[in-house]
Amino acid sequence: MRRSGRHIYQGLCGLDSPAALVLVGLLCAVVPARGEADRAVETQHRAPRGASLRLGVCDAILMALEHNQTVAISRLDPAITETYAAEHRAAFDPELSITAERSEAKTQRRLGSQPAPFDLEDEQFEGTVALSQTLPTGTSFTVSAGMTGSVSNLYTDQYTGTAGLTVTQSLLRGVGFGANLGRLRRARLDVAISEAELRGVAQQVAADVEQRYWDYYVAGQEVAIQAASLKLATQQLAESLERVRVGKLPELELAAVEAEVAARQSNLIDAESAHEKARLYLLNRLGPVAEAPWSLVIEQLDAPFTPDDTLDAVEAHEQVALRYRPDLEQARLALKKGDLAVAETANGLLPRLDLFLTLGRTTYAQSFEEAYPDLQSPYYQVSAGVALDFPVPNRAPSAQLRRARLSREQQSLAVANMERLVELDVRRAYLEVVRSRQQITATRLTRELQEKKLAAEVEKFRVGRATNFLVLQAQRDLTGSQLGEARAKVSYLTALVQLYVAEGTLLDRRGIADRGI
């Protein structure tokens, strides 16, 4: 059994998402798809183009987020930013170094008082393996082991094995996680900022697609309304011609009716052109969804629907916005980056005082096999000390700290100002939702009264108590009221979308945030 448009829309729009705490079940449903009569009226004004694309509003949003080029470009930003975080993380990766060297030499030496020179042949080699790492605590260490050897035709062969450990610990500048992880933490915040920016872009694209979806719908309704208006004028012309033929109406009356028929034909042409433009705009927002996307005929599955629910207090919507707005989240993350910058530059004011310790063992032998590094060797070396480095008068770090503090204060003021602007956005969007909802009732009543007015004018015309001008005027008024009612329904839905954008909850309400962008 085919599901109704309302069930499809509610199922796709994710009304149970966390972001919908304030407006659970509010204003996010549609009536079943338009009837066959409405489709027939639109179809007769739609030239055949190509394959049909059946879309509900949430289907259109998901399709756009998958294919829209703007989203595709923005989707790469978090991945690019992540590479910077990985680059800063690499500063704490261990590093293994291996060196090997071998040299030969043949030189001439004179020994003591012997007048004849002696040829000295010497061969030396050296190999070292070292592992070094810097820790976020400000500690760096190096563990090394190596062997050297010297073989000649004059001296006794000698081999040496060494093993050592060197540890350096910062005591003032560069000590602690705050000083050493600052760049990495800022890079990770940049990743979060880019992800929030991507959500903002995706939300804007979703809002734009939904707006275009309803624009296309109302453009189709305008085609149908203008076609019906033209049909009324044509019927009025036919009836007027009959009355002229039987002598009940002067022929001069026909000019006004014929002019009205021509004017409504012009209006229908404009409506069909606007409908075609709306189709192209919607297809453009959806992205390249087919090999020949511009020829796709869009078949809309959803129509506007006005639920009976009422809005919550505007303060509740403000609280949601202060929690979920992507641009506000970006500003708060930038403020955290400012805190990290202050902590890092404050550490730079301290003098550098490092404690170092070196331990080593050396093995001596006349053969290679006996010269391996031995930690139990009686030959050792131990050294320890401190190194102090204090620039005077330390102007550069002081300037950096002052700049970081001023920037952080500026960011704090910017966040407070943005929060106020977010509240203003929500209140403006809230008022527009209330206004557009009231307009639905007003335009419906206007349309109903205009229908009664037209029926009365037609009846009076047929008994000779009204003129063509009054009938045509009543038809124009009815057409205007029908257009106003259709536009009011779409204006209400778009006002809701803008409210959700102001809250930052549009993706959650459409069930997209949980699926990923």
pLDDT, one tens digit per residue, over 137-165 is 999 999 999 999 988 877 788 889 999 99
In this structure, the answer to whether residues 275 and 135 fall within a common structural domain is: no
In this structure, the answer to whether residues 63 and 129 fall within a common structural domain is: no
Distance CA 240, CA 233 (A): 10
In this structure, the answer to whether residues 463 and 414 fall within a common structural domain is: yes
Mean pLDDT of the chain: 84
Identify whether 344 is part of a domain: no
Q: What is the pLDDT of residue 28?
A: 31
Instruction: For residue range 50-97, list pLDDT tens digits in order.
Output: 688 888 888 899 888 888 888 888 889 999 999 999 999 999 999 999
Identify whether 343 is part of a domain: no
In this structure, the answer to whether residues 50 and 71 fall within a common structural domain is: yes
Q: 343 with 408: CB under 8 angstroms?
A: no
Residue 7 pLDDT class (50, 70, 90 cuts): very low
In this structure, the answer to whether residues 317 and 223 fall within a common structural domain is: yes
In this structure, the answer to whether residues 192 and 305 fall within a common structural domain is: yes
Q: pTM higher than 0.85 for the full model?
A: no
In the chain, what are the helix, strand and coil shares in percent, each to the nearest 5?
60, 20, 20
Distance CA 186, CA 368 (A): 51
Identify whether 345 is part of a domain: no
Number of domains, the chain? 2
Helix (H) or strand (E) holding 81: helix 69-89
Q: Is 301 helix (H, G, I), strand (E, B) or coil?
A: coil
- DSSP 8-state symbol, 31: B
CA of 270: how far to CAs of 263, 276, 494, in Å? 11, 10, 23
Instruction: For residue range 222-234, list pLDDT tens digits in order.
Output: 999 999 999 999 9
Q: Which domain holds residue 193?
A: 5-87+184-338+406-515
